[in-house]
Chain A
Amino acid sequence: MGLSLQNINKMVGQEIHLENINLEFESGSRNVLLGRTLAGKTSLLRIMAGIDRPSHGKILIDGEDTTGVWVRKRSVAMVYQQFINYPSLTVYKNIASPLKVSGVPKPEIDRRVRETSKMLHIDDLLDRLPAELSGGQQQRIAIARALVKDAQLLLLDEPLVNLDYKLREDLRIELQEIFERREAIVVYTTTEPAEALMLGGNVVVLDEGRVLQTGATPDVYHNPANTKVAEVFSDPPINYLHCTVEGQTARMGENIEFPLTNHLQSLPAGQYTFGVRSHHLSLNRTSTDDTEIRTKVQLAEINGSETFIHANYDNSRLVVQKDGVHPHRMGTEISIYIHPSCIFAFDAAGVLVASPALNRLGV
């Protein structure tokens, strides 16, 4: 199956929710819609599902216009942020419900419910009611109900966002393994770069109702077309430093200068924004080519596996990501080192002009 969105616009009152969306999806493909809150991810998913109609534009399935076709007539399944189940039905009946509606014979229903529930590790809960279960288990039921249909279009709208991070960890990995075995078009929305990368496949980066960039997920991550994409696709936020390039030298802040080599060598003179992801900044010198920024610790955030050191330099906020848990007192003087091979260069308009060579990052 192929799904094609052509010139989709969505207006709600005077507000533009989606603008000029043109996208193609193929059977067996995994697709991530990546964007911040209110970027238009859910609006787009609802139009793909046939729950909402676009204000303009067409949805074609295998070349056929299905823009006005009722959602029940389409082969589509959707999982929402909130855990939506039938509260008075057992887990078994919840999962079986879409098959029952479409008149699948009982033995076939039984086989598919058991198979799907096993895949999501809820096969020992089939006689229970959703309210008796944890949030993680409830969302597993909703996912099982979506999977059991074997729909040609499987849509998931930030399905893990309301789960505790410990429950997310396993489900995130399991979902990836499940999607790999599916024939359907899978479309998954998220605000998290790490989740997008884990799912792989193709990514559509959305911002304020517009598509900023599409492509294979790792390619877009390593070559964000502009500063906006780099921001959406970096967590912690990408570090930006304002630089002036003259000849073979970059100058930033009051007194830092460094030579431009390799991928930065041929930058024409002018104003640039240099972007460096936080795990590429270091508190230790790693090579003689490193540029040093002297500053003070504002705060060290710790997430349990990594430490994020916040600091300021030249009116920019910098975040350094370090593996492990380390104490860094507020106000302590530190040096932050940047290796030039890790720098993304964006021109004055914010368009990417040079990105790090992957082999230099060891990717």
Chain B
Amino acid sequence: MAHIELNEIAHSYNKNPKDDSDYALKHIHNEWKDGGAYALLGPSGCGKTTLLNVISGLLTPSQGRVLYDGKDVTDLPPEKRNIAQVFQFPVLYDTMSVFNNLAFPLRNRGIQESEVKKRVMEVAEILDLTPYLNRRAAGLAADAKQKISLGRGLVRSDVAAILFDEPLTVIDPHLKWQLRHKLKEVHEQLKLTLIYVTHDQVEALTFADQVLVMYEGELVQIGTPQELFENPKHKFVGFFIGSPGMNFLACTVDGNTARVDGAGILLDDDTAALAQKAQGKMEIGIRPMHLEVHAESVKGGIPATVKSVQDQGSFKILTVNMAGHTLRTRMPEGQAVPPNEAWLRFPKRWAKLFVDGRLVNK
């Protein structure tokens, strides 16, 4: 297994890039620790597949170096990097048995048949494929096939990392959680470096210990799922993670108070102090779940009107108007919805300040 370093990487598909917008990857500089479970999350066109191709060696970046365990592999092709990949659609030999499919990468490398058998049996056991070993791959369901693709990566004891590119796309929704569970289990048992690319937040947040959120060719935040939810460092993370996304309100800061068209929102001391030094476009961000909604006037409550209510069973989404701004709030099933007027409270812990789209914090 390998520790992977991306050193000052930038890539443009354009031969003579002029400005930032010509770069698919703007400036990527980070490390992927040996044995880590990582997800690369972002919308289509954000550059995540380009980055994956730089890591695997399918693409040589315009700038920067790729290091595996300290060794420069920037110019090496994928087969020299010992990378295994699992794609959206299972890539298998349909006419071969499951056993032979799993054995293929080992036999290809001239490994002794006794060792091949031992490794294949081990991996089949981990992936619950033992009963299917003598079956032809052609007749199996998509989830079993995708497990075989994964198994072909796992059999190689020298594999540096396994890269997954949207691997659950073709899997039935009700089987997805079982495969996610299997992937987690494999990671816990084998401690491999796993990199999982997806636009689906459920897959990224469920699979990874560390999620890298990518937006317009930049890694805008690297953190645990909880950090992305509770402390989004970039407006895009606030918007993209969670449903509905974070509310944002343009504001000015005056002492400890953020002013939004006449409404005052109290900030915590640290944020207020940092805001004094900050310059740029200021916005308050708060998640719908963290906005308190009251049916009666409360201390520190800002008056608002309820425009519409969407019942989703376990909770309700309210669309409210506060000081001329539309906000979404989320109320648990048991809480009564105010009919017209409501009072909103922004708990200090959850009212975040953004300057030019980036979180103000220490």
Least distance between A221 CB and chain B CB atoms (Å): 6
Residue among B177, B241, B308, B317 with max Cβ neighbours from chain A (10 Å)? B177
CA separation between A80 and B177, bound complex, in Å? 28
Chain A binding surface, main DSSP class: mixed
Given contacts A301-B177, A323-B289, A324-B289, A169 and B244 within 8 Å (CB-CB): yes
A321 touching B314 by the CB < 8 A rule? yes
- Residues B229 and A361 in contact, CB atoms below 8 Å apart: no
- Provided the pairs A325-B229, A325-B230, A330-B188 are in contact, do residues A303 and B333 lie with their beta carbons within 8 angstroms? no
Let me know if B201 and A303 touch, CB within 8 A.
yes
Instruction: Using known A-B contacts A299-B180, A327-B224, A327-B225, determine if residue A305 contacts B242 with beta carbons closer than 8 Å.
Output: yes
B184 touches A330 (CB 8 A): yes
A302 at the A/B interface (Cβ < 8 Å)?
Answer: yes
Binary flags per residue of B135-159, CB closer than 8 Å to A gives 1, else 0: 0000000000000000000000000
Q: Beta-carbon contacts of A70-86 to B below 8 Å, as 1s and 0s?
A: 00000000000000000
Q: How many B residues, CB 8 Å from partner?
A: 42
Q: Does A279 contact B (CB under 8 A)?
A: yes
Is B185's CB within 8 Å of the partner chain A?
yes
Contact of A198 among B181, B201, B242, B311 (CB under 8 A): B311
Binary contact readout A290-303 vs B (1 if CB under 8 angstroms, 0 otherwise): 00000000111111
List CB contacts (< 8 Å) of A198-246 with chain B: 198, 200, 218, 221
Knowing A325-B229, A326-B226, A327-B225 touch, does A298 contact B312 (C-beta < 8 A)?
A: no
A108 to chain B, nearest CB (A): 30
Chain B neighbourhood of A321, CB < 8 A: 314
**Chain B residue at smallest Cβ distance from A323:** B289
Q: Return the contact of B310 from the options A176, A301, A310 (Cβ within 8 A).
A: A176
How far apart are B310's CB and chain A's nearest CB, in angstroms? 4
Interface of chain B, main secondary structure: mixed
Is the CB–CB distance between A173 and B313 below 8 Å?
no
A200 to B310, CA, bound (A): 9
The listed residue (A218, A301, A302, A361) touching B311 by CB distance below 8 A is A218
**Cβ A299 vs Cβ B184 within 8 A:** yes
A181 interface residue (CB < 8 Å to B) = no
A321-B315 Cα distance, complex, nearest whole Å: 11
- B319 to A197, Cβ gap below 8 A? no
Is B202 interfacial (CB 8 A cutoff)?
Answer: yes
Assess whether A133 is interfacial by the CB under 8 Å rule.
no
B104 at the interface (CB under 8 A from A): no
Q: Does B334 contact A (CB under 8 A)?
A: yes
Across the interface, which residues of B come within 8 angstroms of A303, CB to CB? 201-202, 205, 243
CA distance A327 to B239 in the complex (A): 21
- Chain B nearest Cβ from A268, distance in angstroms: 30
Residue of B nearest to A198 (CB): B310
Chain A contacts for B229, CB-based, 8 A? 304-305, 324-325
In the assembly, what is the distance between CA of A198 and CA of B43, in Å? 26
Residue B47 lies at the interface, judged by CB distance under 8 Å to chain A: no
* Nearest CB on B from A312, distance (A): 11
Q: Which A residue sits closest to B209, measured CB to CB?
A: A327
Is A304 in contact with B242, judged by CB distance below 8 angstroms? yes
User: Separation in Å of the A145 CB from the closest CB of chain B?
Assistant: 25
Chain A residue at smallest Cβ distance from B307: A177
| CB <8 Å contact, B310 and A304 | no
CB neighbours (8 Å) of A221 from chain B are: 313
| Sample of 8 further A-B pairs with CB below 8 A, known A279-B313, A362-B336 | A166-B245, A197-B312, A277-B314, A278-B314, A299-B180, A303-B201, A303-B205, A305-B289
B residues in contact (CB < 8 Å) with A = 43, 177, 180-181, 184-185, 188, 199, 201-202, 205-206, 224-226, 228-230, 239-245, 287, 289, 308, 310-315, 317, 319, 330, 332-336
Could you show 18 A-B contacts with beta carbons less than 8 Å apart?
A165-B243, A194-B313, A200-B311, A221-B313, A277-B313, A278-B314, A298-B181, A299-B180, A301-B177, A302-B201, A302-B202, A304-B242, A305-B229, A310-B181, A325-B205, A325-B228, A361-B333, A362-B336
Q: Give residues in A with beta carbon < 8 Å to B.
A: 164-166, 169, 172-173, 176-177, 193-194, 197-198, 200, 218, 221, 277-279, 298-305, 310, 321, 323-327, 330, 361-363
